[in-house]
Structure 1
């Protein structure tokens, strides 16, 4: 959206609307003894999905590559094209589905494009669902007002040029997380700020829901930390809700992880959220608030929600009963999470440290008998 970097860039450098905010990385956390490392040395493993055979699909997004990690650790390349951002994946009856896009946000000069890809068990490759065309036609959040409201003109004049005082959603599309359910692929479009369904057979795209703006009242400490003028203290900035992943819960609703569209690190606190979306009506309800940088999501049969907190403490479990957040897997830079049976899988160390070789990892822990922190 307007003046918002593509989520890929946001995650890579914690780029923000308030661009002067310092980027921070989560400190390494202690790791539980039961943790098993399935793969090392991955390049920005921002997404993963686990199949019935316990093989793991991992998107090395910065490399434009989707790899399969077999149960025994053997790796094979499923798809590779450095010209595209390869994002979330899923599987259904032997067919692999994944999203690929380019041109999202002002920092990517390429033409806006994005589709769903499928590769069946015979290796037949198909591309369908023109997500960029849908966004160009509808501009899903064009009616949502972002930024400040009623900020005095004298204060607005003090804002940095790259900080919009007030604006509405602009045309952008960045298909990020996906979930295959029956004949539909649900897409968390981080550029359009919407959830989109793509018909597997026809390729028809449809906007299911648009996420609401996320208001935040600026404190004096936050304004100072962001090197912003003191006159914004006490005023509310309506940030964009940036969907990063989507899954179907046991109640049939879609569960969506959402970044707050501003500083993704702790500069303004834990402002991410988990939403529930009715796939039939588009109704959006808040499930959990004040979640730190949620970039991946999964649910279990009891309705508990598992969230990968990229700049937080690792994988969080949000209980369906009390909505409390508990650290289930302590880890640094946790980008995505999935469940298969009684095992939880996650990508950690998902962003490379400066001047060091990438060492993204896929890890797993058993859930049976595991006590939450």
Structure 2
């Protein structure tokens, strides 16, 4: 099961259905390998706009404006400093996400949706990376479903329990699978000659040139957890029964990239492990050197990290959708910047931090604050 679990929850929330968060939310995750929390100097949080529909992604736009992907409404909205809105893209029935901006060009992703978002699509659906220039001309850079169908980079990866007896697996076949052919681009990070894209369905990060050529950057490795009582309970909430013979075994979760940022030679990305695990506090933030491939773990124990941002000094911020927290990651200490409800995404520039909050509620907001 992949990112569609979160997408399905979003669709339900857009209809004002209560999101079941589970008991794990009562336990704070631990960031930065266990270092403590404190609060940094910040200005008060200012509401820029409210009443947004599933605002899952945000970016700084032109002339102090903001770009918000109202994902399940199929809209890309520009909001000026006074809160006035203009719809840039309207694609009813599609999911708009992955919004970013560079040099007069807006980048975003547009995913076709299955008839039933809670079920796997019966066919491979279009998963497009698109651009919108300053004159309003829209262009499709690529349809990543084509790349996924041809390459399926995680196709040989065994997810679930890798070492299990045949008799135990027969009791719960869902405990083991291989990477399916599925594409769901969800985040973008533009550069001079193209754009990095985090594919939350394919579990990878690719680079798309301005000519539409797609190159694999990194397949996100599966994340291991031990099947304990919390995992059994999470599976039960999803109507899946884990047999006693599987308790204590290692389960390799699908590691879903939820957001990406590029700063210098480093690619930063947040990971939300797939079911079971979205709400169990197994989220992480990594960075990978684009030339050497060296990867570093920056934070762990996060509750659905769906937004990561890096400022001009290299300071990393992360938003936890189910942890109700925006944090600044330090080498020795993690500091809490703000504690909004359901912050889905963040961006930071020149000590200005923006966030989309209450993202899975009918009262979705765009907020801003200053950080030092």
1:154 aligns with 2:167: yes
1:288 aligns with: 299
1:117 aligns with 2:116: no
Contact 1:208 1:282 in 2 (8 A): no
Query: 1: distance between equivalents of 2:106 and 2:136?
Result: 10
Query: 2: distance between equivalents of 1:127 and 1:288?
Result: 34
Higher relative contact order (CA 8 A, sep 6+): 2
Query: 1: distance between equivalents of 2:271 and 2:110?
Result: 19
Equivalent residues in 2 for 1:24-43, closer than 5 Å: 24=22, 34-43=44-53
Distance change >3 Å, CA 265–CA 148, structure 1 → 2: closer
Distance change >3 Å, CA 230–CA 326, structure 1 → 2: farther
Query: 1: distance between equivalents of 2:12 and 2:278?
Result: 10
Contact 1:300 1:339 in 2 (8 A): yes
Query: 2: distance between equivalents of 1:225 and 1:170?
Result: 22
Distance change >3 Å, CA 281–CA 172, structure 1 → 2: farther
1:9 aligns with: 8
Query: 2: distance between equivalents of 1:194 and 1:78?
Result: 28
The Cα of 1:253 is off from its aligned counterpart by 0.9
Out of 241, 249, 252, the position equivalent to 1:238 is 252
Contact 2:10 2:54 in 1 (8 A): no
The answer for unaligned runs of 5 or more in structure 2 is: 14-18, 27-41, 237-241
Comparing 297-306 with 76-85, which one deviates more in the overlay? 297-306
Contact 1:293 1:312 in 2 (8 A): yes
RMSD across aligned positions (CA): 2.5
Which secondary structure state, in structure 2, belongs to the residue aligned with residue 237 of structure 1? strand
1:191 aligns with 2:190: no
Give a deviation string over 1:43-69, Cα, whole Å, max 9, x none.
000000013522110000001000000
Distance change >3 Å, CA 132–CA 224, structure 1 → 2: closer
Give a deviation string over 1:92-128, Cα, whole Å, max 9, x none.
2212111111257844456411222112112222112
TM-score w.r.t. the length of structure 2 is: 0.85
Query: 2: distance between equivalents of 1:245 and 1:230?
Result: 36
The Cα of 1:225 is off from its aligned counterpart by 5.5
Out of 361, 367, 372, the position equivalent to 1:363 is 367
TM-score w.r.t. the length of structure 1 is: 0.85
Aligned length: 343
Query: 1: distance between equivalents of 2:156 and 2:289?
Result: 20
Distance change >3 Å, CA 43–CA 222, structure 1 → 2: same
1:258 aligns with: 271
Contact 1:24 1:265 in 2 (8 A): no
Which secondary structure state, in structure 1, belongs to the residue aligned with residue 319 of structure 2? strand
Query: 2: distance between equivalents of 1:187 and 1:7?
Result: 18
The Cα of 1:151 is off from its aligned counterpart by 1.7
The answer for unaligned runs of 5 or more in structure 1 is: 15-20, 353-357, 369-373
Which secondary structure state, in structure 2, belongs to the residue aligned with residue 157 of structure 1? helix
Which secondary structure state, in structure 1, belongs to the residue aligned with residue 171 of structure 2? coil
